[in-house]
């Protein structure tokens, strides 16, 4: 099978992870796919991965945090980047999406910002973190990562989200 020598780890909230596991199991789960049901708001990433015998903290790792960071407070975002650095080896990368900050200091969704922020708030999933793209480099450096010069620039935008890739 493709990528048989690569371990894949999917960490998701328990309710979501159970649904994913059912679907993946129905298709036939491969031995190198590790589905971990964990609430990272309750338990540290470092503890979750250290408890998994298949995890190799010295390995170069690709971490994907897509559609996640904007829902965390700034301290939690910084902590997540720190924890990802702690559980991954040299040469690791983290690919992520983030929301820019508007001139008013709020997350920026373009001309629909007020409506989007209101809908997210009333639905119980408000955006808690955003950052102007030009401040991303210093933020990453403070949290043990560097914007990757060979990957995507932090100014590449898709819809309201910016894409970023950082290296360790």
The pLDDT tens digits for 52-103 are: 999 999 999 999 999 999 999 999 999 999 999 999 999 999 999 999 999 9
The pLDDT tens digits for 98-151 are: 999 999 999 999 999 999 999 999 999 999 999 998 899 999 999 999 998 766
Please provide the distance, in angstroms rounded to a whole number, between the alpha carbons at the two ends of the chain. Answer: 29
Q: Kindly report the CA angle at 32 between 8 and 85, in degrees rounded to 5?
A: 30
Taking 70 as the threshold, does the pLDDT of residue 152 lie above it?
no
99, 101, 105, 111 alpha-carbon torsion, rounded to 10°: -90
pLDDT recorded at residue 153:
60
CA quadruple 98, 164, 46, 38: dihedral sign: positive
CA–CA distance, 83 with 18 (Å, rounded to integer): 24
Task: Please give the domain boundaries of the chain with CATH numbers for all domains.
Answer: 1-55 (no CATH), 59-168 (3.40.50.150)
pLDDT recorded at residue 56:
95
The number of residues in the chain equals 168
**Is beta strand 62-65 parallel, antiparallel or unpaired with respect to 8-12?**
unpaired
């Amino acid at each position: 099978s493709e990528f048989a020598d690569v371990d894949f780890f999917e960490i998701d909230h328990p309710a979501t992870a159970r649904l994913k596991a059912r679907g993946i199991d129905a298709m036939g789960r491969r031995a190198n796919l590790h589905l971990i049901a964990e609430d990272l708001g309750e338990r540290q990433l470092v503890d979750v991965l250290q408890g998994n015998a298949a995890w190799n903290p010295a390995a170069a790792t690709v971490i994907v945090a897509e559609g996640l960071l904007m829902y965390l407070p700034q301290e939690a975002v910084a902590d997540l980047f720190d924890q990802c650095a702690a559980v991954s080896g040299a040469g690791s990368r983290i690919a992520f999406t983030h929301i820019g900050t508007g001139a008013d200091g709020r997350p920026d969704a373009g001309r629909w910002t007020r409506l989007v922020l209101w809908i997210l708030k009333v639905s119980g999933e408000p955006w808690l973190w955003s950052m102007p793209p030009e401040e991303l480099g210093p933020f990453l450096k403070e949290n043990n990562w560097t914007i990757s010069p060979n990957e995507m620039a932090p100014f590449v935008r898709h819809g309201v989200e910016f894409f970023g890739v950082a290296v360790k």
